[in-house]
Structure 1
Amino acid sequence: MGQITVQGLGKAYKKYPNEWARLAEWVLPGHRQRHKLIWVLQNISFTVSPGEAVGIAGMNGAGKSTLLKLITGTAMPTTGSVEMTGRVAALLELGMGFDDDFTGRQNAYMSAQLLGHSVEEIEQMMPEIEAFAEIGDYMDRPVRMYSSGMQMRLAFSVATARRPDILIVDEALSVGDAYFQHKSFDRIRDYTEQGTTLLLVSHDKAAIQSICDRAVLLSEGKLAMEGEPESVMDFYNALLAERENYKVEQTVQEDGKTQTISGTGDVTLLSAELLDSDEQAIEVGSVGQSVSLRIRARCVYSIENLVVGYLIKDRLGQPVFGTNTFHHKSVLNHLDKGQDITIDFAFGLCIGEGSYSVTIAFHAGDTHVAKSYEWRDRVLVFSVINTSKEPFVGVAWLPPKVRWLP
């Protein structure tokens, strides 16, 4: 089984004021430094244990791709070290290592040899590679004729033809069609269940939360947070909307989960309750039950307009349903400092059995990204049980009408 140990990893590039300074540093005696270092990664340390799946997230320019290049050895670190045990398969930049003039089959042979497979092993693997890639006759055509999706299909099929000890996947999967993405993630899940160590870089929060045991968040080349995927991705969501006079706070709740609170603080939550039809607060509801989410908030400062939204998430932090008053054409305008507001969202619990959490947001406009007053994750947690409906599986209750046709 494979393990990845990253210790004090950093990467810097030299920046010279002009070309003459670069030349002078090379040839003139005295070893005078004529450059300054531009750090793209600094002091990154984490360990991926054998059989663990870890996701790496971060905004564009955070250093994710650089980190993977350092881990896989395609770039050399300025500081720190990386240690890996076991056979490694990496899918980084799309089609990296492919020769455009060679056929897909020829490139598959070369890529598989670089992964350490013998010619005899590759010949045995080739039918599986062809079957999984599903590119048909293009297997024997030059790669320059491939679309980006076809390149990704072939590259992924070769990299995962045999279960590796360590699998490293960059954003390359994002260019594929939906069908192949599902197929690829199914294979990744199968491999992790069998003990493969996974390092996944993705902007897809759902992928990281559903596949990974832990997540690492990079921000401006530094490790901003490491921990349970839902908490890390909540923090990432807060950073996406960060602006001037914007705060991001995290607190550990009684159940050990982390709550993220972010925004300007112009509006703050006073209370939130899930109520039954008798307006009694509940923590457990039944499938199909009519409930209402009652939210009370206070304007800390005067604001021009207020949109209130909520998001229901499942136990993995995956969004189940969310909406806001903007989309329901119900926006409050010209609110005074100190003014309190109360709003009810009435709906049926048309969701499956399980545990759910509620996120609440106060903002201007259609989303919280432009101007967020307050965003609170895990404001309340509730459970749903099935007491009266036909048995079913999943997070959505969509009861069908069944009829046999002649």
Structure 2
Amino acid sequence: MKQIELPQEPVSANTDTAVAIDVKHLSKCYQLYNQPHDRLKQFLWGGRRQYFREFWALKDVNFEVAKGEVLGIIGRNGAGKSTLLQLLCGTLTPSSGHVEVGGRITALLELGAGFNPEFTGRENVYLSASILGLSKQEIDERFEEIVEFSGIREFLDQPVKTYSSGMYVRLAFSVATSVDPDILIVDEALSVGDGEFARKSFDRIRSMKEAGKTILFCSHSLYQVEAFCDRALWLDHGQLMHFDEPQKVVQRYSKFLLGDAKTSALISANPQAVSATQGHARLSHVAVSLDGATGRELKGRPGENDLSIRVQFESDPQLPAPTVGVTINYGSLMTVASVLSHSENVPIKRSEFGKGEVIIDFPALPLRKGEFHVTVYLCSEDTVLVYDSAQTVATLHIEDPLPEPGLVKLAHCWHTRAID
């Protein structure tokens, strides 16, 4: 049991074995000084006068996380999410309240924070893993798995200062997730690295969820929070606004961000009023169906089924309409097919509040035997910026009784004749 507590408020050990994280009246206050010498004045006056102003990054937060539960944490930048995660990890001390954490905890807050740039990748694997609590024998046993997952074996004996940012992230993530923690904290770590590695990373975290690990998943991708988490927690200005099922929390948070019609009218009437979602867009709902049957795991046969993908989004109405894209991938090896509204000159329609819906139909889907993953993207009008994505929103299990090679069955015609 790892526990953070204040000297003035002793905390008894958590006897409920079903609870992985117990947070009670947790607060964190920072003292902000206008000028550097105000710190000296504050010290000299010994508290008789106050030369700082208080900033409450977190104030009176209470919640519990059950063992094996996945908790999504959402909120705008500066809402207190990172402060909360650092308090849970023990890298920050609370101003009041306490936290009880049961089991080994690993946090993906700043990948590679324990790396020494002068050391080789091999040396940093042992350094970082030992910081995370593994013995040398345990690191030896997991070393090959760490290297294999990172995919940078040929650079392993080079100093990490020579690594690209992608290589750095690959190795750091591989080490951090090799510890086999009881509790994993993820703070936007899935947004780093290339597409293939991001998919591998998410698959590894998904496998940890299936193994019954407790996961705290902090993300700006509300769709991922809805699809991946058991419950969600919304923070704003350091206060817990809502703690419930992901769909209910995301719905309330979305209304808070976008505002109702009255708020939108006020913004239009007052040019100085700024929307909370200015410059952003997000996926609000994605559904995949095969012959009308909607789900995450769908079964079909080559050329016999119609695939339909329904995408709903919300966006800043002051921005150009976003681009919607869909990829169909064969595992993590290749993209079999993709469509993009931008390249096909499809006009995306929206309401005055920036909401819209797109339906993409693939008649007589010509995929052959195998598992294919559907991913949806919401991008800027020029496709340079990815606003949001829904990774592997559905898996298509295509069964083909004919042992023919290839991934797709292309439309074709046969012509035959007898010749002399």
Which residue in the other structure is 1:129 paired with?
A: 146
The residue matched to 1:160 in structure 2 has which SS? helix
Contact 1:92/1:172 (CA < 8 Å) preserved in 2?
yes
Distance 1:265 1:97, change over 3 A: same
CA distance in 1, matches of 2:107, 2:169: 12
Which residue in the other structure is 1:35 paired with?
A: 52
Which residue in the other structure is 1:18 paired with?
A: 35
The residue matched to 1:32 in structure 2 has which SS? coil
Aligned partner letter, 1:319: V
Aligned partner letter, 1:165: D
Q: CA deviation at 1:140?
A: 1.5
The residue matched to 1:10 in structure 2 has which SS? strand
CA distance in 2, matches of 1:361, 1:175: 24
Contact 1:2/1:166 (CA < 8 Å) preserved in 2?
no
Q: Return the match for 2:286 from 316, 319, 322.
A: 319
The residue matched to 1:184 in structure 2 has which SS? helix
CA distance in 2, matches of 1:9, 1:206: 28
Which residue in the other structure is 1:59 paired with?
A: 76
Which residue in the other structure is 1:354 paired with?
A: 294
Q: Does 1:100 align with 2:117?
A: yes
The residue matched to 2:178 in structure 1 has which SS? coil
Contact 1:264/1:373 (CA < 8 Å) preserved in 2?
no
Q: Return the match for 2:65 from 21, 29, 48.
A: 48
- Structure 1 unpaired stretches of 5+: 247-262, 267-312, 322-348, 378-389
Which residue in the other structure is 1:219 paired with?
A: 236
Which residue in the other structure is 1:168 paired with?
A: 185
Q: Return the match for 2:108 from 73, 91, 105.
A: 91
Q: Does 1:188 align with 2:205?
A: yes
With the length of structure 2 as denominator, give the TM-score of the two structures. Answer: 0.62
Distance 1:192 1:52, change over 3 A: same
- Render the CA deviation track for 1:86-126: whole Å, top value 9, x for unaligned: 11111111311111111111111111112211101101110
Contact 2:285/2:311 (CA < 8 Å) preserved in 1?
no
Contact 1:40/1:221 (CA < 8 Å) preserved in 2?
yes
- Render the CA deviation track for 1:275-301: whole Å, top value 9, x for unaligned: xxxxxxxxxxxxxxxxxxxxxxxxxxx
Q: Return the match for 2:135 from 114, 118, 124.
A: 118
- Render the CA deviation track for 1:217-272: whole Å, top value 9, x for unaligned: 122222222222223223333333349952xxxxxxxxxxxxxxxx5599xxxxxx
Contact 1:2/1:196 (CA < 8 Å) preserved in 2?
no
CA distance in 2, matches of 1:404, 1:110: 62
Contact 2:222/2:250 (CA < 8 Å) preserved in 1?
yes
CA distance in 2, matches of 1:175, 1:236: 25
Contact 1:360/1:376 (CA < 8 Å) preserved in 2?
yes
Q: Does 1:145 align with 2:162?
A: yes
CA distance in 1, matches of 2:133, 2:313: 51
- Render the CA deviation track for 1:33-83: whole Å, top value 9, x for unaligned: 322211122122211110000111112221211211111111112122111
Contact 2:134/2:179 (CA < 8 Å) preserved in 1?
no
Contact 2:122/2:156 (CA < 8 Å) preserved in 1?
yes
Aligned partner letter, 2:293: E
The residue matched to 1:93 in structure 2 has which SS? coil
Q: Does 1:159 align with 2:99?
A: no
CA distance in 2, matches of 1:265, 1:360: 22
Contact 1:2/1:197 (CA < 8 Å) preserved in 2?
no
Q: CA deviation at 1:199?
A: 0.5
Aligned partner letter, 1:31: R
Distance 1:29 1:223, change over 3 A: closer
Equivalent residues, number: 303
Question: Which aligned pairs between 1:195-344 and structure 2 lie closer than 5 A?
Answer: 195-242=212-259, 246=263, 264=265, 318-320=285-287
Contact 1:209/1:318 (CA < 8 Å) preserved in 2?
no
Q: CA deviation at 1:357?
A: 9.8
Distance 1:318 1:110, change over 3 A: farther
Distance 1:354 1:119, change over 3 A: same
CA distance in 1, matches of 2:173, 2:19: 19
The residue matched to 1:62 in structure 2 has which SS? coil
The residue matched to 1:161 in structure 2 has which SS? helix
CA distance in 1, matches of 2:170, 2:293: 36
Contact 1:264/1:374 (CA < 8 Å) preserved in 2?
no
Contact 2:117/2:160 (CA < 8 Å) preserved in 1?
yes
CA distance in 2, matches of 1:359, 1:104: 43
Which residue in the other structure is 1:76 paired with?
A: 93
Distance 1:400 1:351, change over 3 A: farther
CA distance in 2, matches of 1:231, 1:403: 49
Q: CA deviation at 1:163?
A: 2.5
CA distance in 1, matches of 2:91, 2:166: 23
Distance 1:182 1:35, change over 3 A: same
Deviates more, 1:395-404 or 1:50-59: 395-404
Which residue in the other structure is 2:274 paired with?
A: none
CA distance in 2, matches of 1:10, 1:244: 35
Which residue in the other structure is 1:109 paired with?
A: 126
Contact 1:168/1:200 (CA < 8 Å) preserved in 2?
yes
